[in-house]
Chain A
Amino acid sequence: MESMLHITTLHYLVLGAALFLLGVIGVLTRRNVVIVLMSIELILNAVNLNLVAFSRYWQSRPVNMGGGPSALHGQAFAIFVITDAAAEAAVGLGILIAFFRNKETVNVDEVNLLKW
């Protein structure tokens, strides 16, 4: 109980892992492409949560070990991951619209033009 009430970095890591797993299940099992893309967003956000939690941990480390209040590398990485997520969503949804125009469906099982 005591370890439940002290919120540590590990709590955030476990939460990130749970969210990552939800995203993986969504990507592997859903047939709707839109929801697959949303699951990918979930995965990227789980990674972001880990990065920010580690950044917080690293800020509490001593300065001579590379820590200190201005050790915000995790947060800078999180910004880059958010940028990637935005680019991925834009291109992915563009591909989805092109696919829907050709096949009149958003079912991922019918994306088989490149299959032989």
Chain B
Amino acid sequence: MTPVATPFFFYLLAATMLVGGVMVITRKNAVHSALALITALLAQAGLYLMLYAPFVAGVQIILYAGGIMVLFLFVIMLISIERTMKERQFNKQWLIGMVAAAALGGLFIAVYTTTTKGAALFPEGRLTYGESTNTQDIASLLFDRSTGMYMFSFEIASLLLLVAIIGAVVMSKKRI
């Protein structure tokens, strides 16, 4: 199925994402930041759908909007928010931080506009739209006996999650 009105939806979702990102780093109340982050992440899931990555889009919604953001909101409830809101929100290095970010942005612009032998360094070719057996293909990359080249990495990722669970429990225990 060919997507319709691709430029319109791209710019709509991109604008939602950027506005959400700006809200995350400027709001005083951490709950508002979390809600803005959910907005940005849902818009990003829409962009994944436009890039023909439905499985990653589903994982994004379930894991970020459903999992990580709930974790953030629970932690915001556990810590006292009133005192934080009365304090200064930006630290003393904000000017240096902006300069560093501007330098990084200049680097990105320089890299993305670089051309070697007349051709752009990064591909500009129009994306083509293919059939999607997307979830199955990702599964065969992750698990399949012959083509699954990320099987070992997958096992390591499960180990990493185990370590994260144990670490989170140990960190938030009152007495270890």
* Interface residues, chain A, with chain B CB atoms under 8 Å away: 4-15, 17-26, 28-32, 34-35, 37-39, 41-42, 45, 48-49, 52-53, 55-57, 59-60, 69-70, 72-73, 75-76, 78-80, 82-91, 93-98, 100-101, 104-109
Contacts and interface: CB of A to CB of B under 8 A. Distances in A.
Given A7-B7, A52-B48, A97 B25 contact: no
B101 A21 contact: yes
Contacts, number: 250
A10 B112 CA distance: 8
Contact of A8 (B40, B123, B172): B123
Interface of B: 6-7, 10, 14, 17-18, 21-22, 24-25, 27, 30, 33-34, 37, 40-41, 44, 47-48, 50-53, 55-56, 59-60, 63-64, 67-68, 71-72, 75-76, 78-80, 83-84, 87-91, 93-94, 96-98, 100-101, 104-105, 108, 112, 120, 122-128, 130-131, 133-134, 137-138, 140-142, 150, 153, 157, 160-161, 163-165, 167-172, 174
